[in-house]
Every structure is written in C-alpha cells, then in structure tokens.
Amino acid sequence: MKLQMQHAQGIRAKTATRSMPVLSRRALSVKAIASEPRIEVPSSLKGASAWSPVTWRSKPALQQPDYQNRDEVVKACEEIARMPPLIFAGECRTLQQRLAKASTGDAFVLFGGDCAEAFSQFSANRIRDLYRLLLQMSIVLAFGGGVPIVKLGRIAGQFAKPRSAPTETINGVTLPAYRGDIINGPEFTEETRRCDPWRLVRAYNQSAATLNLLRGFSYGGYAGLSRVSQWNLEFMKNTQEGHAYMDIAKRVDEAIQFMIACGMDTNMPFMRETEFYTCHECLLLDYEEALTRLDSTTDLWYGCSAHFLWCGERTRQLDHAHVEYLRGVNNPIGVKVSDKMDPNDIVSLIASLNPHNTPGRLSIIVRMGAKKLREKFPALIEAVQRSGQTVTWVCDPMHGNTETVSGYKTRRYDNVRAEIEAFFDVHDKMGTVPGGVHLEMTGDNVTECIGGGASISEDDLNSRYHTHCDPRLNAEQSLEIAFYVAQRLRQRREAMAAKVAAEAAASA
C-alpha cells in the first residue's frame, strides 16, 4: 500500500495567496486504501470537477491558525501524509448506507462526544466511559424507537475549535485565542498560545490510539448485546436514569434468553459486535489534506481522518475553502446551519455538496434554539422539499443554547430538551423525517450544564467543570435526553402505524 503524497506537495504552497502547486506525475499515480475487491463506480460519481485535495488552497480559508513557521507545518503534514489512514473507504460507504436509512425514518443517528478533545485528558478509561454511555443511549433509543441506531462519536479527531475572535484579553494582556489542542494550549501564556505545527502529529497519534481501542470494544465482545446490563457507569447506579436504563437492560436480557431458547446462535455477529463510527468538524484544512487518500478500489477520494466530516456554521460559505474541500471527498458529510441560513442558500449549498442527490451523502445539522427553530426551520424544509433534494435532518440542541452564568459558559438542560422537542414538532407538522441528534456530552461525572435529573444548579458549576471549551451534558443528563428522544420516536412510530391502518381501512 503506497501513500498518497499529492496533498503533501500541496502543503508546500506557502504564499499568502495560497497559490496551487504543480502536481508531479508521481503524485498523480499514488493510491492509498486497499481494503476491498474492485468496485465499479458510475462515471458520474468519479470525483468532482477540477477537484484535488489541494484545490481548497485557491479559496479563502477562514478559522485557520496563524503559524509562525510554515516550513514546520509542511514537515509535520508530510509526516502525517506518510502514515496510514485512520479510517477506511469501505467503512464510509457502509456509514452512508446507514445514514440513507435515517433520511427515510428507517434508522436514527446519534452523534455524541466531547466539545473538544484534550491531550491532558486522554485515557483509556475516559474513552471507555464515553463509548459505553453512547451504547446505553443507543439501546434506549432502539428499544423505544424500534429502529436501528447509527452511532457516531465526536472522538479520535475532534481537536480543533472555531473562535469568534482571533485573540483573548485577560487583565490587560492580549494573546491568541485557544483553538483546540491540535493547534495550541488552553493555558493563558504566550508560549502555550503559540500555534505549534507538531501538535498536528500528536493529534494524529492520539486519534490512532483511540481508534484502536474503539475497534477493540466494537468487535472484541465488549459491545455484545449480552453485556447490556454491564454497561452502566458506576456513578449512575443510584440515579433515576440509571434505574430506568437497568429496567430496559433487564428486558433486553429476557428477550435474548427467549431467543436462545428458540435456537438463536449467540455467536452471530449482531450479538457480539456493533458498528461505531467517528466524526469531527472539518476545520483544520492542512490536517485534513494530509489525511486525504485515493481509494484504490473505486478511484474516489476520501478524507481519512474520520468516517464523517462536517462543515461548521462559521465556515460554510459556498465559495470558500471548507466547502471546496468537502465537495470532493466521498465520505458522508454534514453542514451545520443556524437561523441565519437563507432557504435559497441552503438549496445552493446542498447542490454543491451533493450534486448527484445521493441518499446518505449529506446531513443538515440544525442549531438554532427552540424559538428560532420553530420560526425558521419550516422554510428550510420547504425549500429542500421543493428542490427534490435528499438530506438527513439532524438536531444540534447545544450550540444555540450557550450562555454565561457566574463566569462559566453553560447550557440549561431544559433549553436543550426544548430544542429537541421543537425539532420533532416541526417534522411532525411538516410530515418530514427527524433523522438524528447531535450532542456535546461526556461519560465523566461533570457539572457543566444546569438542570436535568442531575439537578445541577448555578452554584454547582465550579464543582466539576472540566471542559476546555464548551459545556457538555454529563451521563445522567445525556441518558435523560435519550429517554425523551425514544419517547418521541415511539410516538412517531405509533402515529405512522395508525395512519397506515386508517388508510387501509378506508380503501377496504
């Protein structure tokens, strides 16, 4: 397996205008991922017009770090480009199939994980706790909703964060803003806030180690259905949500025992394994370019830093670098949109990112706050419906509900739930499909969001406030959200069944 070096050549473009480099014949001939038999792909899907992993450099690129030494950036990215991909093209194709089902209501997507991963908080236990919390939530959603749950962790790559301002001032001292551990450090010192290119390599190595553990969990028996009752977090045992989860786990165990009695083989893959995918914001384009590979089974480009990549609200401009990069990779992708999105613009954006209208290719992740979502979201749905475009609609109830209380950035559980409620209500009214939820959450017992079953008050925020960036739901709050979403999925399923029965009776 040879490594794709075309992007490494592109990294050497160091001019202020980001002019595109000339690609060598050797660079054009190198391929990377070889994991499956040759797949015949329709010519209409083979790459975007005039696209390569470096064409983003000809566009304005927002939210990029101001490195003092571009030569060091080149060296760090070339080192990453020589390393193996973090994920494989075949996994992305499978995920796209799952997301296509979510767009029609035949599955539901659960995104969850840290606001921003941190080098200092990296440990096997923290990875395990987030993983099993996502497993718990998926069981609750599947049991209540009656559909498969597509699990995507904001992990193994969610290091970079967009900032509202390039600098931060404390006590009269102004320094560069903290942009995530892949770029600089959170400590307010001149040395730590300097953008360090070699953090790129450290982020890659941490992502590779994280993925190694996640794959072990997913395919080594830890995620088997027979272990459902063993996934509960220790500090959740005496909580209302913990007890409710264990009640479901007991019922799952009873169902499994019944199926075994009927002759089911417990060694079947669906009993021992689970699919788990990774995702992060496609923000730091030097890093993404260094991990872009040409799949030798399809001759298609893939962003091999994660299975699913999304473009944020601050970087979704149609003629800018992030959209240019994402339009050419064949991963399933997403775009986050706020109440500022114009219905005409969303149609144009979807046409650019999913020109062949492929189901599962594009998710629209809505982040508005409950009130604005009820006001603005219907017009976006109507515009997409009129255009005949296919997307998976996902609710991000976190980013439209951030506020500052007693000097801490926080979110109120009631506001988070209210936005999810509004999301389902709008879809029910429009007759469209709620495809998923996207949460910033952790398996740690933190006190960063106010309210919920955890009863965290404003005075509790300084107790266990550990995030380096935005506040996260803790395990108890996350499970409470899962139970609510499961209730809405069940209600939707029952309403659809009643409608089908009524139509059948009317036509009889």
- CB neighbours of 282 closer than 8 A, spacing ≥ 6? 288, 303, 309, 310, 311, 322, 325, 326, 333
β pairing state of 333-337 and 149-154 = unpaired
Query: 162 with 288: CB under 8 angstroms?
Result: no
CA distance 86 to 305: 5
Query: 376 with 336: CB under 8 angstroms?
Result: no
- CB neighbours of 252 closer than 8 A, spacing ≥ 6? 139, 143, 225, 228, 229
388 three-state secondary structure: coil
Annotated binding site for Mn(2+): 115, 399, 440, 470
Query: Which region, left, alpha or beta, applies to residue 303 given φ > 0 means left and ψ of -120 to 50 means alpha?
Result: beta
β pairing state of 308-311 and 333-337 = parallel
- CB neighbours of 474 closer than 8 A, spacing ≥ 6? 441, 442, 444, 445, 446, 447, 448, 449, 454, 456
Residues forming beta bridges with residue 174, ordered by sequence position: 169
Nearest Cα neighbor of 227 from 256, 258, 247, 206 is 256
User: What is the identity of the amino acid at 185?
Assistant: G
Burial of 429 (0-12, 13-18, 19+ CB in 10 A): exposed
Dihedral sign computed on CA atoms, order 11, 12, 15, 20: negative
Dihedral sign computed on CA atoms, order 477, 397, 104, 158: negative
CA distance 371 to 422: 8
Furthest-apart CA atoms within the chain: distance in Å: 78
For the chain, the C-alpha Rg in angstroms (whole number) is 23
Annotated binding site for phosphoenolpyruvate: 154, 313-314, 336, 367
CA distance 126 to 120: 11
CA distance 304 to 3: 12
Cα–chain center distance at 285: 17
Annotated binding site: 115, 154, 313-314, 336, 367, 399, 440, 470
Nearest Cα neighbor of 180 from 468, 485, 499 is 468
CA distance 243 to 89: 40
